[in-house]
Amino acid sequence: MRELYISIDVETNGPIPGPNSMLSLGAVALLDGEEVGSFEQNLQELEGSAGDPDTMEWWSRQPKEIWEACRSNLFTPEAAMANFVRWISNMEKLHHAKAVCVAYPAGFDFLFVYWYIVRFGQKSPFSFSCLDMKTFAAATLRVPYRQATKKNMPREWFEGLPPHTHKALDDAREQGFLFLNMTKHNANA
């Protein structure tokens, strides 16, 4: 079965789900080197959660429209996760492929997405796993993990990418196309 890569990105008000909230979820479906679908929803904050002081200080330095973008058209976490899981299922059926989650870094974005999916009564379409792009870069470049940073990656991996805006869908798209460029490099290595 073909793999349908789902590049995810989240915006949050802190480092961990539960005490902090996912504010926005963006995802791009990639198949055979092309974008075949996208998903974006902004979420209401979790009851009893609060913004982490360091994270909120970071948000205060971002353009106001970025914050406003992730705080408009809010869905309950239950509705957003049901919509997300349904979207992935529809993408899989439409393209006769199985979803594989991709994130940069997976340890952050997937943590939030998986926690929210399980917490709000859905079954993870990714099982327990997510492809970490930084790990993939380290393996592809044959460098130690800590050297596999964006500044050390080949410049051609970044050619033609959309800008990193801190809007979840934009960043999921940028990272998804970065992943495609990494897979092309890996195939030719």
Q: Which CATH number fits the domain that encloses residue 94? A: 3.30.420.10
Name the percent of the chain in helix, strand, coil, to the closest 5.
Answer: 45, 25, 30
Residue type, 76: T
Plot region of 68 (φ>0 → left; ψ -120 to 50 → alpha; else → beta): alpha
For 59, the domain range is 2-188
* Mean predicted confidence (pLDDT) in 104-118: 97
pLDDT at 188: 84
188 against 181, higher pLDDT: 181
The total of structural domains in the chain comes to 1
Residue 57: C-alpha distances to residues 26, 44, 105, 116 (Å): 22, 20, 21, 24
To the question of pTM greater than 0.85 for the whole model, the response is: yes
- Given a cut of 80, whether residue 89 has pLDDT beyond it is yes
Strands 34-43 and 74-75, sheet pairing: parallel
- Average confidence (pLDDT) over 35-50: 98
- At residue 1, the pLDDT reads 85
Average confidence score pLDDT of the chain: 97
Average pLDDT (7-20) is: 98
Q: Where are the alpha helices (DSSP H) in the chain?
A: 53-60, 64-70, 77-95, 106-119, 133-141, 168-188
Burial label, 137 (beta-carbon count in 10 A; 0-12, 13-18, 19+) = buried
